[in-house]
Amino acid sequence: MCETLASPLNYGGIILKNRVVFAPTTLGLPGDEQIQRLRDIASGGCAMIIVGDVPVLPHGFGMSLYSKKGFSWYRTLADVVHAQGCKLRAQLHQSDSNMKAMIKYIPAVLAGHISQEQMRGLLNQQVGTYVTGMPERKVQKITDAFGAAAKLALQAGFDMVQVHGDRMCGSFSSELFNKRADCYGGSAENRALFAVQAVSSIRKCLPDVPIDFKLAVRQGSPHYGNAGVLEEELPVFVPLLESAGVTSFHVTLANHGQLEDTIPSANHPEFSAEGCFLKFCDQVKKLTKLPVCGVGGLTDPQFAEEQIQAGRIDCIAMSRQLIADPMWPRKVFQGREKEIYRCIRCNKQCLGGLLAHKGVHCIYERKKIL
């Protein structure tokens, strides 16, 4: 029963004890609660945890690898997670929000005249101008920072890194945002350069470390996602990223549409099915022999087992299911599937909690306490 799911995997040079990974998830919780949550997830038996949104520059949003406090927080997290026999990956990201252009809206946000969702829309409107107008010197400073941040991440105890292929990488990749006339814009090869340089910078600093790439795929028809790599352009991006040093791909839908597209609820018009983004993995699999991780709407152990057995993916990542029940892997491997709290993809307390600044929670939390 689910033998493949339980079997080890060589993931770019490190061995995962099974095929279950905690997908990158910004938890929005205080530091100590976050460590406790990730400890619970690690103790539930998954092979690796991806820490979402670790900033590559010293002053990005989120806990900084460059500050004493941030570095020691990551160090503690690594010790706690490793003590549970689980590995840790840092998702290195650079935001593409032009905060300077947003300052003028702050009074209206504070007064409640502009909602979170409206603010997201305003930020999205700025992305194209921001990445198109960014001086080349600044672009290179950011791509170089991926190497510096990766080095710090390894020093803090992470086992490997993931380049967040959405956010700034994704905006540079997309012809919808990137209208540059220099070497970073125009052809698909040029639009891939930002991501390629980010990966190369890590490879230069850390010759042997596994580098995963979160490959955010933009669906042409019907249109979903605005940043990331258009399906038809995958044959250009995937080999370029592989030559730059990527050792595995984590494949999902691109961002900068609605959040509920990349984190789809059960009644989503296009992505309601179990394993809703695996069709993108099928396309990537045709272009590389590197391990491919599927994510999105995965909750059913038997379904996951069959997808790995069929060779569509090599491992699975789950966000909301492991929030709903961190013990999912252990229960599956012990034949206790019936005891799993199955994520119903309601998005009420996970995405809803994050957006309401209450931190990520789950509708099952109360039930488990009672």
What residues act catalytically?
A: 167
298 makes contact with ligand FMN (CB under 6 A): yes
Based on CB atoms, which residue is closest to ligand FMN, 16 or 185?
16
Cβ 81 vs Cβ 22: under 8 Å: no
Question: CA angle, 102 as apex, 25 and 112 as ends, to 5°?
Answer: 80
Among 90, 127, 351, 362, binds ligand FMN (CB under 6 A): 351
Rounded to an integer, what distance in angstroms lies between the CA atom of residue 336 and that of residue 191? 47
Based on CB atoms, which residue is closest to ligand FMN, 159 or 261?
261
Nearest to 315 by CA among 348, 344, 281, 339: 281
228 makes contact with ligand FMN (CB under 6 A): no
Please state the closest distance from residue 4 (CB atom) to ligand FMN, in A.
Answer: 19
Residue of minimal CB distance from ligand FMN? Answer: 52
Based on CB atoms, which residue is closest to ligand FMN, 132 or 279?
279
218 makes contact with ligand FMN (CB under 6 A): no
301 makes contact with ligand FMN (CB under 6 A): no
SS3 label, residue 298: coil
Question: Could you tell me which stretch among 111-119, 170-178, 237-245, 313-321 binds ligand FMN (CB under 6 A)?
Answer: 313-321
Cβ 206 vs Cβ 150: under 8 Å: yes
321 makes contact with ligand FMN (CB under 6 A): yes
252 makes contact with ligand FMN (CB under 6 A): yes
171 makes contact with ligand FMN (CB under 6 A): no
Based on CB atoms, which residue is closest to ligand FMN, 285 or 320?
320
Rounded to an integer, what distance in angstroms lies between the CA atom of residue 36 and that of residue 59? 25
Please state the closest distance from residue 298 (CB atom) to ligand FMN, in A.
Answer: 6
Among 195, 318, 324, 332, binds ligand FMN (CB under 6 A): 318
* Phi, psi angle pair for 42, to nearest 5°: -65, -40
Binding mask 82-101 for ligand FMN (x = CB under 6 A): ---------x----------
Among 296, 301, 326, 329, binds ligand FMN (CB under 6 A): 296
The runs of H, that is alpha helices, within the chain are 31-43, 68-83, 99-102, 106-110, 116-133, 136-156, 167-173, 188-191, 193-205, 234-244, 259-262, 278-285, 301-309, 320-324, 328-333, 351-355, 364-369
Using CA atoms, how far residue 177 sits from 77, 186, 231, 355, in Å, is: 36, 11, 16, 25
Question: Sign (positive/negative) of CA torsion 95, 116, 108, 122?
Answer: positive
Size of the site for ligand FMN (CB under 6 A): 23
Please state the closest distance from residue 22 (CB atom) to ligand FMN, in A.
Answer: 9
Based on CB atoms, which residue is closest to ligand FMN, 165 or 185?
165
Please state the closest distance from residue 308 (CB atom) to ligand FMN, in A.
Answer: 16
Among 2, 293, 360, 362, binds ligand FMN (CB under 6 A): 360
Nearest to 324 by CA among 47, 25, 111: 25
DSSP 203-244: HHH-TTS-EEEEEEEEBTTTTB-SSSEEGGGHHHHHHHHHHH
* Phi, psi angle pair for 183, to nearest 5°: -65, -10
Name which of residues 20 to 49 contact ligand FMN (CB under 6 A).
23-26
Based on CB atoms, which residue is closest to ligand FMN, 178 or 321?
321
Instruction: Spell out the residues 6+ positions from residue 298 whose beta carbon is closer than 8 angstroms to its own.
Output: 274, 275, 304, 316, 317, 318, 321
Kindly list the residues in this chain that would bind ligand FMN in the complex (CB under 6 A): 23-26, 52-53, 91, 164, 214, 252, 263, 295-298, 318-321, 350-351, 354, 360
